[in-house]
């Protein structure tokens, strides 16, 4: 069973991500976190195979949390899932070692991103043109 940790400060978004993840019979949500500090703690408790991480969260944003995760568990891939995907954010995510970034509005890309990270591939979606 593939274990996925979800971190987002919005309860509804966490529930939607959980429902999306649990559509795959081989995936399970092993934990949830509501802020950047809690995701690091939950990661150490649950030992996930992948972390789906929001960008804008209290305590630490997704980039800061990813840096902390990389210090204690560099083998755990992180998929940044944000409502505000931009080229600048994708670049920052790559610089801190995040393996993928997707828009929250594209559920298919979230699933594709998780699958890519599980194959040890990078998965960065292009931001929508404005």
- Is there a contact between 76 and 50 (Cβ–Cβ < 8 Å)? yes
- Is there a contact between 65 and 27 (Cβ–Cβ < 8 Å)? no
- Is there a contact between 111 and 128 (Cβ–Cβ < 8 Å)? no
- Is there a contact between 69 and 51 (Cβ–Cβ < 8 Å)? yes
Q: How confident is the model at residue 13 (pLDDT cuts 50, 70, 90)?
A: very high
The domain ranges of the chain are 2-124
In the block, residue with structure tokens 């998929």: 79
pTM: 0.95
Per-position DSSP letters for 80-116, written without gaps between them: EEESS--HHHHHHHHHTT--EEEETT-HHHHHHHHHH
Tens of pLDDT, residues 44-95: 999 999 999 999 999 999 999 999 999 999 999 999 999 989 999 999 999 9
- Within 2-106, residue ranges assigned H as helices are 11-21, 36-46, 62-72, 87-95
Reported as half-sphere exposure (CB side, CA atoms, 13 A), residue 116 has a value of: 19
Question: Into which CATH architecture does domain 2-124 fall?
Answer: 3-Layer(aba) Sandwich (3.40)
Q: How confident is the model at residue 130 (pLDDT cuts 50, 70, 90)?
A: very low
């Amino acid at each position: 069973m593939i274990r996925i940790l979800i971190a987002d400060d919005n309860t509804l978004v966490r529930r939607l991500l959980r429902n999306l993840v649990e559509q795959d019979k081989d995936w399970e949500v092993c934990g949830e976190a509501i802020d950047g500090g809690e995701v690091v703690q939950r990661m150490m408790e649950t030992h996930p195979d992948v972390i789906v991480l929001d960008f804008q969260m209290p305590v630490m944003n997704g980039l800061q949390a990813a840096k902390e995760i990389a210090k204690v568990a560099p083998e755990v891939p992180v998929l940044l899932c944000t409502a505000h995907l931009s080229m600048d954010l994708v670049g920052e995510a790559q610089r801190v070692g995040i393996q993928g970034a997707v828009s929250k509005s594209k559920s298919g890309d979230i699933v594709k991103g998780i699958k890519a990270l599980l194959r040890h591939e990078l998965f960065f979606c292009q931001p929508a043109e404005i």
